[in-house]
Amino acid sequence: MNSSLFFTEEHEMLRRSVREFVERELVPHAEEWEAEGMFPDWVFRRLGELGFLGLHFPEEYGGGGGDYFTNIVLMEELAKCGSFGVNTGVAVQIGMATPPILAFGTEEQKQRYLVPAIRGEKIACLGITEPGAGSDVAAVKTYAERVPSGWKVNGNKIFITNGYRADFMTLLARTDREKKGYKGMSLFLVDTDTPGYIVSRKLEKVGQWSSDTAEIYFQDMVIPEDALLGEEGRGFYNIMWELQGERLIVAVAVIAIAEVTLQQAIEYGRERTQFGKPIVKNQAIAHRVADLATELEAAKSLTYITAWRYDRGEYPVKEISMAKLLATQVAFRVCDEAMQFMGGYGYMMEYPAQRAWRDMRVSRIGGGTDEIMREIIATSLGLYA
């Protein structure tokens, strides 16, 4: 696809700037962060100093005032740092936990949470998933009860990216037990140093080791009245809006990671000789690479076009679901095939193919599983009418 359809010279200047930062300040540490199981907080601060955490936010809050494709540039270049966990942590900061603040927050909330998040001075996490409420967001049980001093919250969240070290959480909780399903939910902004906010444990995962993931408990946690984000009772609708941006940024990130992984496999195939010639010149391998490159380009085209519509204020839920479904499935297939091309070496920890394969798997779960994406698409097509 001709990138000039979507990217201007300003985008390309940004790309060069991000790439230089990634190569100079992130790549040298990727292995270390994987081994330690967490990338350091200074990455957020440095990204904030460089203006990379606010590319798509208004200038009045310290952002760059750019279009959605500035975020795409950032995600595509971060994919080259060698640690997908960095992409995930940053994606939560810029595309998941903070957009609801801009969309639904008061001016005071924007100044208190959004501005420092853009600067990288506060790290954000998003509290939706619970042990009994993942794909079924309407099953959320964490309850925020009105009390004289504000809201008393009790409940449990799990699989929370950035949750181990976050300064604040954008929290979805039930505020009316009389209303069932998606009704009676609200959003809140919660400081993680609030008494009763308990980081229970840092979770061990198959992949994305450098991205911290936590389980959180709320035990009689009292938050002020002005912690409410947006209108009371509109939390489900507002978080469904947020999920569209989340799914789109996931599609962008996985395609970028898959492109890097496929290129690494091609380079390996040019150097690895079997039966008297480089394995990439084996027709069975070459044709499979051709198929994967074609699938990646198709997924990228759908994602770019959908992002273009989203950037112009449309709400293309069906196409976003399609992009997320296609991108994550193709990207995982690319990583799986890359390991296959490399044979035993691809399975060794010293080669990056295994990391991409491990890291990529969760993309078909987080932000909406394959099954949920298909359900949304099927409903949009009127198949259940």
Task: Give the SS3 label for residue 254.
Answer: helix
Task: Give the SS3 label for residue 169.
Answer: strand
- What DSSP string describes 327-343? HHHHHHHHHHHHHHHHH
Contacts of 13 (CB under 8 A, 6+ apart): none
Task: Give the SS3 label for residue 27.
Answer: helix
Number of other CB atoms surrounding residue 238 within 10 Å: 20
Max Cα-Cα span within the chain: 79
Task: Give the SS3 label for residue 219.
Answer: strand
Cα–chain center distance at 128 = 14
- So which residues are the catalytic ones? 246
Q: Say if CB 119 and CB 138 are below 8 A apart.
A: no
- What DSSP string describes 67-93? -HHHHHHHHHHHGGGS-HHHHHHHHHH
Q: Which helix (H) or strand (E) holds 185?
A: strand 185-191
Q: How far is CA 345 from CA 18, 78, 240, in A?
A: 31, 25, 42
